[in-house]
Amino acid sequence: MENNIDRLRKDIKNLKEISKQNKLDLSDKICYLENLLEESIIKSRNLTPYDKVSISRDINRPKTLDYINIITSSFLELQGDRYFGDDKAIVGGIGKIGKHSVTIIGNQKGNSTKENIYRNFGMAKPEGYRKALRLMKQAEKFGRPIITFIDTSGAFCGVEAEERGEGEAIAKNLKEMSMLKVPIISIVIGEGGSGGALGIGVGNEICMLENSVYSVISPEGLSSILFKDSSKSKDACEYMKMTAKDLKEFNIIDNIIEEPLGGAQNDVKYMGEKIKEYIIERLNFYNNLNKDEIVEHRYNKYRNIGRYFY
């Protein structure tokens, strides 16, 4: 759907063509529309934290598989945890990004209610985290860098997930990921919720798309605890410091990838190319580090989070 900014750009372009073809002076009208365009762009960039939460949850927002199809020249999906089954909330496999052979793992939501039910709304069960770890250990064995796409409100909290060891599966991933001898690049593409996100998010680098969010709990959950009223989630967003800009200032994340105006869903191909460009640039950096340096780089990153200097 065409937004106001796109319409203004199109109108300006049309007026310039009419002015040139017919030798008319339309500079006043063009100038007026250009001023409107500039104001609209500034307004679109000045989103509240609640606005960004809404954008991150948009059902039309690109998912992990959308980006995989854009950034890889080939991709082979691998399934199953070799213990219980295959969790459709997490996808993973082997792909080629530029000259780099990589393992890609990510939360997968749906583009419709039916697909979201099939994907369990991107909320992984223990077998999802065990599948992810199996693929990560395989990547380490064959020297492939790991790319993870984070997009989940949290791990699935159903009884069956607890029975099969949800907490243990996530904890094991945290431990094992911290010691893997290949680079790990984690990218938050939508929601990054609590341990569900951390289970595939212990990276050498954590990057966020501009309108994504990353937090220990949802705004609704925090407002229920803090304000005893889940309807105050809009206020909670202001306190939580969950936006990419806030987390970059706190040195919790390393980079922010700018989105198209209105969100990644407005230009999926552009967003995918920006992500691909970022991944290739960072993988080229890690090519210059040996295995021990890669582990030390990741260790130092987490040791320095939360450190304050007076």
Tens digit of each residue's pLDDT (9 = 90 or more) over 43-76: 666 788 888 998 899 999 999 999 999 999 999 9
Q: In this structure, is residue 172 part of a structural domain?
A: yes
Residue found under tokens 């609209």 = 40
Q: What are 104-142's pLDDT values in tens digits?
A: 999 999 999 999 999 999 999 999 999 999 999 999 999
| CB 260, CB 62: distance < 8 Å | no
What local confidence, expressed as pLDDT, does residue 73 receive?
Answer: 92
Q: At 8, is the pLDDT very low, low, confident or very high (cuts 50, 70, 90)? A: confident
* Buried b / exposed e along 70-80 (16+ C-beta atoms within 10 A): bbbeebeeeee
- How many residues in total does the chain contain? 310
Sequence-ordered alpha helix ranges (H) in 119-193: 126-142, 159-163, 166-179
| 3 state DSSP class of 77 | strand
User: Between 268-286 and 64-71, two packed helices, what is the crossing angle to 10 degrees?
Assistant: 70
| Backbone φ and ψ of 255, nearest 5° | -145, 155
Q: In this structure, is residue 185 part of a structural domain?
A: yes
| CB 279, CB 261: distance < 8 Å | no
Q: What are 19-28's pLDDT values in tens digits?
A: 888 888 888 8
Q: What are 249-261's pLDDT values in tens digits?
A: 988 999 999 998 7
What local confidence, expressed as pLDDT, does residue 25 receive?
Answer: 83
Q: Name which of 70, 123, 114 is nearest 273 in CA terms.
A: 70
Q: At 169, is the pLDDT very low, low, confident or very high (cuts 50, 70, 90)? A: very high
Q: How many domains does the chain have?
A: 2
Q: In this structure, is residue 310 part of a structural domain?
A: no
**Domain of residue 103, CATH code:** 3.90.226.10
**23 and 106 part of one domain:** no
Q: At 41, is the pLDDT very low, low, confident or very high (cuts 50, 70, 90)? A: low
**129 and 232 part of one domain:** yes
| CB 216, CB 226: distance < 8 Å | no
Q: In this structure, is residue 247 part of a structural domain?
A: yes
Handedness of CA 107, 112, 115, 116 (dihedral sign): positive
Element (H, E) at 235: helix 233-240
Q: In this structure, is residue 309 part of a structural domain?
A: no
**55 and 36 part of one domain:** no
Q: In this structure, is residue 159 part of a structural domain?
A: yes
| CB 46, CB 245: distance < 8 Å | no
What local confidence, expressed as pLDDT, does residue 283 receive?
Answer: 96
- Beta bridge mates, 97: 100
**80 and 163 part of one domain:** yes
**117 and 39 part of one domain:** no
**56 and 121 part of one domain:** yes
Report d(CA 17, CA 158) in Å as an integer. 60
Least trusted range by pLDDT, from 6-10, 85-89, 94-98, 241-245: 6-10
As to burial, measured by CB atoms within 10 angstroms (0-12 exposed, 13-18 middle, 19+ buried), residue 18 is: middle
**114 and 168 part of one domain:** yes
Q: Name which of 173, 187, 167 is nearest 137 in CA terms.
A: 173
What local confidence, expressed as pLDDT, does residue 26 receive?
Answer: 81
Q: At 152, is the pLDDT very low, low, confident or very high (cuts 50, 70, 90)? A: very high
**254 and 186 part of one domain:** yes
- Report how far Cα 304 is from the mean position of its chain's Cα atoms: 22
What is the value of pTM for the model shown?
0.85
Mean pLDDT of the chain: 91
Paired tokens of 209: 């798309």
DSSP class of residue 204 equals S
Q: In this structure, is residue 148 part of a structural domain?
A: yes
**19 and 148 part of one domain:** no
What local confidence, expressed as pLDDT, does residue 2 receive?
Answer: 44
Domain that holds residue 19: 4-45
Number of H helices, E strands in the chain: 14, 8
**37 and 183 part of one domain:** no
Q: What are 71-82's pLDDT values in tens digits?
A: 999 999 999 999
Q: In this structure, is residue 194 part of a structural domain?
A: yes
**121 and 185 part of one domain:** yes
Report d(CA 1, CA 76) in Å as an integer. 32
**204 and 119 part of one domain:** yes
What local confidence, expressed as pLDDT, does residue 44 receive?
Answer: 60
